[in-house]
Structure 1
Amino acid sequence: MNKILIAAAVVAVGAGGYWYSQQSTSLSTTDSAVLSYVPADTPLFSAQLNPFPIKDYINSLSDAYRQFPPGSFDELEQESDQRAQFFVSLLKSYADSMKDGDTFITTFGLAAEVRSYVYTLGAVPVFKIEVENADAIWAILDKAEAQSGLTHTPANLKGVDYRSYQLTDAEEKEQVSLVFAVHDGLFTATLSTSFTEATLLETALGVTSVDNSIADANIVEEIITKHGFTNEGVSFVNHKEIITALTSTDGNQLAGQLSKLYEIMGEDPMAELKTPACSSELAAIANNWPRTVAGYDELTVTDSHSAFGFRTVIESENQVLLGAYQKLRGYLPSYTQYIDNSVFSLGLGIDVNQMVPALTGIWDDMLTPEYQCGPLAEMQMQMSQQSPAMLGMFTGMANGVKGLGVSLIDYKISEDTQSPQLDSLDAVVTLSADNPATLFNMAKSFVPELANLQLPENGDAIELSSVVPIPAELNITPKLALKGNHLVLFSGEKGAAIADKLEKEPVTSNGLFVVSADYMKMFDPLLTFIEMTGEPIPEELEGMKHYDMRTQFTLDIDQQGFEIDTHMDSRATK
């Protein structure tokens, strides 16, 4: 039975890993047809609703992003099991196809633009993608069979031909098989088991629709409208359906499947959660945090450049908690929020003065009401033994702090391979607060080296070379200045320019966290210098050569819940 679970988990994770959606206008007839086979109680759903330019996208990636490091499959190739070798062959076919966009779509029989879908029928994963040439897919599978020795069982279900690959050992009482089919221009990969209802495979293959589908419930349209996503793609995890499955025996499709599985196992590991108290209290929590949803705000793809703006929202209906979390929001300097202006930037926005009252409010809300459900009651008991008020003694030392910022703006390494050193380093570190001068003077009592430093109130900078010994080869001269509400440590002309701009930048509550990186700016000077020395580039850095990509990750919170913004910008290798 353990082998069944492991096999199912491997395939489920593999299918779930293919998850990227995009943007456009209204749902197509193709989408409507597919969605009619997705039950409204599906715990997980992700769809690329508008044709995505997969060919151009792959061409737009840098060479390093499309290449697998040498020896990536060496360890896997040592596995003797036919099933393992089958998947290794498929992975190698994928790796080989990433040479360029034409090779990729030809290998898998895809059009230049495709739609795709990932969802579950209860616990059973289903992956679908539009195909133009089904023979190409069968050729890849035939190759994997020849290289592994694993063979398929051909079958037909209500007019749909499919291949079934047995994942469990023949002597196992319960069986799990991996199923591949092409029907109505869609390639489908799913699981078939001996312990799930017979009609499940019919639904997965698109021959028997469901009574209450995701299309009937207008779930996709509702998410797009509520969160302002583009119509290109939508994804979600339904927390309410997952809780229903864990706290009931037949509350939804997933619950029924788990009950059958527990019956086969001979025990129900979730029995403790199926009491009336747990069912009611966990349902209330799920109602307050119903879903995690995601979609695109931005999409630009050509064969030389691609840019994505992807937003994830952890929805919440608990306005008390949301209000408390929002009080924690602090200040993120403007220089940390632009992806193209630096090598690396990080901003942490925390209103220290609000930390204790906000966390106390969160604590109180989580301790009310008094839970009767065993696991929840135990959690509350552990929480009640602690108190966020204890943070007061520490936050008092940082009174008035609103945020921290760090940015490596630029750096250059000399071309003298005999005497390597930094030619320049532009960087900035900021502490933003109501009264940064007071905090600096307080810090002097803990750092004796700063005791004799006096920061001019007019914003003039002082050099720190005499205070902080710096090796000559680093060739940097750090400076410190008070710029309005900001204590600024900086180096280089670009660092000085940012410091000057901060003087007139007001401290507002504009976010929680942001981090960004430009991989080309980060690694190219270093790898170029290593090449000049004649030394081989370390294997762990070789993959970053010519890696022309910029990424940014932002965390914030508003009235709808926690928001995670991810931006990626990639350019093809020139």
Structure 2
Amino acid sequence: MKKTLIAAAVVAAGVAGYYFLKPSSATQLDFPELAYIPADTVLMSAQLTPLDIVSYLKSLGLSPEMYLNPEMNEVYSQLAAESSSAGKFGIALLQNYLQALSEPESFVQKTGIAAQTRSLTYMVGAAPVIRFELADEAAFWAMFEQAATNSGLASEQQNLNGHNFRSYSLDEQLAGAQLLVSVERGWGTIALHHSALSESHRAESLALQQPASNLLNSGKLQAMVKQYQLKADGIGYLSTEQLAQALTTTDGNQLARDLQLTFSEGLPEALQVWHTPACQADMAMLSKTWPGLVMDAELVEQAPGKLHMRSKMLFPTTSQIALEGLQGLQGFIPASLNGGLPDSMFYMGLGAEISQLTPAVSKLWAGMTDLSVSCEPLVAVQQQMKAQNPLMMLAMAGMAANGLQGLSVTINDFSLDPATGQPNQADALLTLSADNPQALLTNAQATLPPLAGITLPAAGEEVSVAELFPPVAMLGLDVRLQATDKHLLLYVGEKAKTQAATIAKEPLSKNGLFSFGMDYQQFFSAMAKMSELSGQPLPAELESMLKTNMQMGMSFAIDRHGIVINSDAKVGE
């Protein structure tokens, strides 16, 4: 469990790091390299202002053990021993890059990637492409050649329209597969390609040739930014329209044409059904209703040793029925715990108006099961959904917690007694928000007899929980209970008392589904103390996380466009 938490924290830090950007400029969407991204790409992620990756890595303070510890190296060694030279090449390349990440001072020297770099990730048909701005072209080439030498994989120098590039054969892993590497105009380009694709396709994948319709001349990004109010420092999307074209046609886009090359003996029967007029029409309708995913990023503040960034991930829909159903799922989350930077070690909020779950899900379910479709696979899915209606289960849940609109947990501090392993000091807050807290307690007392003797305090007053519920006295903590007309507040500690007073004044509103926040340094310091009490040695990767001065908050909600995930992260003092 401990290692899982550490791994999750590292991933979260990495995601936040991806969005560390410099201040935006008015010309971002006119960036020339966007002309090399086809307008029909299925997915795209563009960092349009330089990412100061070296500064970010230094701010995290992560040691090499976080990236390459003995356990990870053993896994890599086992994988390499069982792999072909192509597999060994991929593992060696990954290890080289992770080693560079663990040593920010030598990152540029080891990778050739600029300390402050822009980057692009996208698809040219079926070919994934990754591009970085470079500071040292020789070092960039050396990173690949070192991996090839260590794995025994030969590279081939090739020329296309006067431009040199290198090809690494991955034929042992997948027949005809190639990793292409090129350096042009100060950019390093890496593309996973196939020998069956044309020279023109290869030229586009290596950013040597601009597609006729691309993201610079199509106006697609400009329209997306305007429609969804996106920040243009970093922007990305996944297009269901292009996926639908690839699934239902043979030549609707470049991905569809590329896929046909894999079917030398004709389209498999399982895919033929998707190429019917009915499926083409239905999938076009669905992709218009659910366009996919859009992302953005914004730098709030940058100073030496201090980074603050925000980002958004949006799953939009044009279905008013879906929006109404999704909005009905929301409940109340306290404003101070709804995705902002934490003023505590940890917080979590869950918003759900229980009494509205059944009608909200019923509306969503009806919207999906009653949707008029004639595509055979989609009709089959509808039939399966109708046979597995979840409304009865939700109705039972609604009866058990009728009136509940949200709950939250905040942990400011805690410590354990070395002798007993039980909490001997704590500062924490638990809130329950409901239309009628007294009715909620009455329902709980009917199912949990130990709660039968509890009487809520008068509004604005607080009472000792140990007096109401004696088992709490065994903890030795002065836990207090306060009630208002909309909130039950259970807290211990002075900071939690102040936080409870703020939340107690908040009116209920449908403002979110889920929120989470954590102060990395505080959280992992507490984990270190727990590790010491258990008598276990402190893992090297945990020691490294103790140096990570980072706060992060995240929230899930429904806005007027669809499902939105907002994140807020701050690194450094």
The answer, yes or no, to whether TM exceeds 0.5 is yes
Q: Say which SS state the counterpart of residue 264 (structure 2) adopts.
A: helix
**Where does residue 132 of structure 1 map in the other structure?**
135
- Verify the 8 A CA contact 1:53 1:113 in the aligned structure 2: yes
**Where does residue 314 of structure 1 map in the other structure?**
315
**Where does residue 11 of structure 1 map in the other structure?**
none
- 1:74 aligned to 2:74? yes
Check 1:66–1:541 CA distance in 2 against 1; reply closer, same or farther (3 A cut): closer
State the one-letter code of the partner of 2:363.
G
What is the CA distance between 1:100 and its match in structure 2?
4.1
What is the CA distance between 1:445 and its match in structure 2?
1.7
Q: Say which SS state the counterpart of residue 366 (structure 2) adopts.
A: helix
In structure 2, distance between residues paired with 1:140 and 1:557: 44
Q: Say which SS state the counterpart of residue 50 (structure 1) adopts.
A: strand
In structure 1, distance between residues paired with 2:348 and 2:28: 41
What is the CA distance between 1:560 and its match in structure 2?
1.2
What is the CA distance between 1:267 and its match in structure 2?
2.8
In structure 2, distance between residues paired with 1:382 and 1:532: 52
- 1:35 aligned to 2:37? no
Give deviations 1:78-132, integer Å, cap 9, x for gaps: 3232223222322232232224433112222233311110110111011111112
In structure 2, distance between residues paired with 1:400 and 1:533: 42
Kindly report which structure 2 residues correspond to 1:111-510, keeping only aligned pairs within 5 A, or say none.
Answer: 111-169=114-172, 174-263=175-264, 267=268, 269-337=270-338, 338-387=340-389, 389-390=391-392, 391-413=394-416, 422-465=423-466, 467=469, 469-470=471-472, 474-510=475-511
What is the CA distance between 1:530 and its match in structure 2?
4.7
State the one-letter code of the partner of 1:27.
T
State the one-letter code of the partner of 1:522.
F
Kindly report which structure 2 residues correspond to 1:1-16, keeping only aligned pairs within 5 A, or say none.
Answer: none
Give deviations 1:58-89, integer Å, cap 9, x for gaps: 22112258832522122222323222322232
What is the CA distance between 1:55 and its match in structure 2?
2.2
**Where does residue 514 of structure 2 map in the other structure?**
513
What is the CA distance between 1:437 and its match in structure 2?
0.9
In structure 1, distance between residues paired with 2:73 and 2:51: 29
In structure 1, distance between residues paired with 2:31 and 2:461: 64
Q: 5+ unaligned residues in a row in structure 1: which ranges?
A: 1-15
**More displaced stretch, 116-125 vs 405-414:** 405-414
What is the CA distance between 1:287 and its match in structure 2?
0.5
What is the CA distance between 1:260 and its match in structure 2?
1.7
In structure 1, distance between residues paired with 2:147 and 2:566: 39
Q: 5+ unaligned residues in a row in structure 2: which ranges?
A: 1-14
- 1:63 aligned to 2:62? yes
What is the CA distance between 1:353 and its match in structure 2?
2.6
- Verify the 8 A CA contact 1:437 1:487 in the aligned structure 2: no
Q: Say which SS state the counterpart of residue 96 (structure 1) adopts.
A: helix
RMSD between aligned alpha carbons?
2.7
**TM-score, scaled to structure 2:** 0.89
In structure 1, distance between residues paired with 2:504 and 2:172: 69
**TM-score, scaled to structure 1:** 0.89
Give deviations 1:413-441, integer Å, cap 9, x for gaps: 56xx5676644211111111111011112
Check 1:19–1:464 CA distance in 2 against 1; reply closer, same or farther (3 A cut): closer
What is the CA distance between 1:175 and its match in structure 2?
1.1
State the one-letter code of the partner of 2:528.
L
In structure 2, distance between residues paired with 1:145 and 1:402: 57
In structure 1, distance between residues paired with 2:53 and 2:65: 13
State how many pairs are aligned. 551
Give deviations 1:3-60, integer Å, cap 9, x for gaps: xxxxxxxxxxxxx99965745123359x643222211110011111112222212221
In structure 1, distance between residues paired with 2:16 and 2:207: 22
Check 1:17–1:168 CA distance in 2 against 1; reply closer, same or farther (3 A cut): farther
What is the CA distance between 1:290 and its match in structure 2?
1.1
What is the CA distance between 1:534 and its match in structure 2?
7.3
Q: Say which SS state the counterpart of residue 261 (structure 1) adopts.
A: coil
- Verify the 8 A CA contact 2:61 2:544 in the aligned structure 1: no
- Verify the 8 A CA contact 2:67 2:102 in the aligned structure 1: no
Q: Percent identity?
A: 29
State the one-letter code of the partner of 2:361.
L
Check 1:305–1:413 CA distance in 2 against 1; reply closer, same or farther (3 A cut): farther
